[in-house]
Amino acid sequence: MYDGWMNLASLLLGLSAWFLPLWGLRRQSRKAGAEAALWCWAGALCCAAALYFQLRYGDSYVQDGDWSALMDTSGAAVWLSGFLLATSCVIQLAVLFAAHWRKRSED
């Protein structure tokens, strides 16, 4: 069974995890800090969903008994999942700090 759609879903969700917080920071309003926090939560949920799809993709290899494919792809999947998690956290923290300082400078 071809489960490549899970990789595509994971890729799109991972990109969303990076861009949603930045989109929230771009918005200008009086409630910039609260809006940025909501967009960061949306990005965190996208990151979690992307990681879930990677786990499901690896599980599809296990269910099919395709151990060689699992051994070939698991190293890259682990590294890229860690990279997605780390960069998402850094972006979200940077956006929250920037929104906080922007709100402070407006007051």
Average pLDDT over residues 66-89: 94
Domains: count for the chain: 1
CA angle 103–41–88, rounded 5-degree value: 95
Percent of the chain topping pLDDT 70: 90
pTM to 2 decimals? 0.87
Question: What's the domain range around 68?
Answer: 4-106
CA distance 29 to 7: 36
- For residue 47, what pLDDT is reported? 97
How many of the other CB atoms lie within 10 Å of CB of 82?
11
Two tokens, residue 40: 């960061």
CA distance 84 to 48: 10
1 pLDDT exceeds 60?
no
CA distance 96 to 101: 9
